[in-house]
Amino acid sequence: MSFFTVMLRRARNNCFSLTIIRVPMQLSLPIVSLLFVASLLITMSAAAWFTRRLEAVCDALNLSPSLLSLLGALGANIPNYVASIVAIAGGHLDVGLGIIIGSNIYNSAIILSLATFVTPRRHGIIFNFKEAQDVRVVGGYALAILLMTLLVIWVLPGTPLVGWLHAPPMALSLLFFVVLVTLGLFGGLALHALRRGHAEGDGTDEADAVYIDVTTKGHVTRWIGEGLLALVIALGGVVVMVQSGQALTADLHMPEVLAGLLVLAVATSLPNTVVAYGLARTDREVACVEEIFSSNSINAALGIALPLLFWRDVLHDRTLLLLDGPLMVALTLGALLCVLRRRVSRTTGVVLLLVYAAWVVVHVLV
């Protein structure tokens, strides 16, 4: 047995020891529900705290609004991708995938639909040429990342494609390759935001930059420390939330995959909903749409591709392959087409709501 294999097994064992903070199944339903709600609120508050400190550091370092948007999405989506990592590392692959896929479907359907109705504009979200040009690049990266993520799911053990290959080493190599391509695309998105930042920052007043640097330099270290503390609290909250959520759905006799797709996915997406509502209400719909694309990219890269580098299991639920994953990609493609048309109408918002409702009904009935 190679040293690398031993280290991977030790890492997995360590993760199981982490998830020993397990909610006992014999607890009553009200207590489990209270634990779930409390851990959700703690996680949301910690994620918001982390995001605020991240924004303060970005402002102090004169980082661009585009990079700030990406980093803000990184903070707001902590509950999503960390919950998925905890579930996948704990041996619950279907739950982890369900959290991310369900969250991305929620983002593209519910949040985008919400934005079309709460915007001050009467006809939904309207982009000018420059705005559409900027957002379509971010949307293009998001679509590419989600397509590769769907391919990652298709090459997991237990899928028809892997069974057709009849060569486990080849399937494993293909899985690693697709995961690395997905992470590479995410790196390209981050690099794009950084380059846009340099272009947008060309007109920054040098005297103002020096003033900001001098007056805030002493606070940056404290902000970073508070951000790390918020991250630790969020991680602990997510562990309890995942365990209590699984116990809650088990008490309700809900299939495990539905715990990820509906309960945990929606719960972990609430911070994004609040942020999107605020952006759309203040006539910043373009930033709202861009954050939806960024959130979907972050969730897929950090919540699916990254953990699958270290932990892999057999995929049991085929609906993730045949229905949920393709719907996630289709909704992102639809949002990108709306951006190319430079408009997301309220009629489109109604259609998105109906699609989401139909998807929920299918999962409840099947």
b/e map of 160-170 (b: 16 or more CB within 10 Å)?
Answer: eebeeeeeeee
125's enclosing H/E stretch is strand 125-126
Evaluate whether 366 touches 319 at the Cβ level (below 8 Å).
yes
Which domains, from first to last, does the chain contain? 26-201+216-365 (1.20.1420.30)
Q: 324-363 pLDDT, tens per residue?
A: 999 999 999 999 999 999 999 999 999 999 999 999 999 8
238: CB partners within 8 A, 6+ apart:
39, 43, 78, 79, 82, 83, 86, 268
Q: Average the pLDDT over 271-287 and give the result.
A: 77
Residue 238 has pLDDT above 80, yes or no: no
Residue 116 has pLDDT above 80, yes or no: yes
The pair phi, psi for residue 260, each rounded to 5°, is -80, -45
Helix (H, G, I), strand (E, B) or coil at 126: strand
Position 139 scores a pLDDT of 94
Position 217 scores a pLDDT of 59
Residue 27 has pLDDT above 90, yes or no: no
Residue 25 has pLDDT above 90, yes or no: no
Q: Average the pLDDT over 58-67 and give the result.
A: 67
Residue 281 has pLDDT above 90, yes or no: no
The pair phi, psi for residue 344, each rounded to 5°, is -120, 100
From 95-109, 169-183, 327-341, the region with the lowest mean pLDDT: 169-183
The Cβ-side half-sphere exposure at 151, using a 13 Å CA radius, reads 17
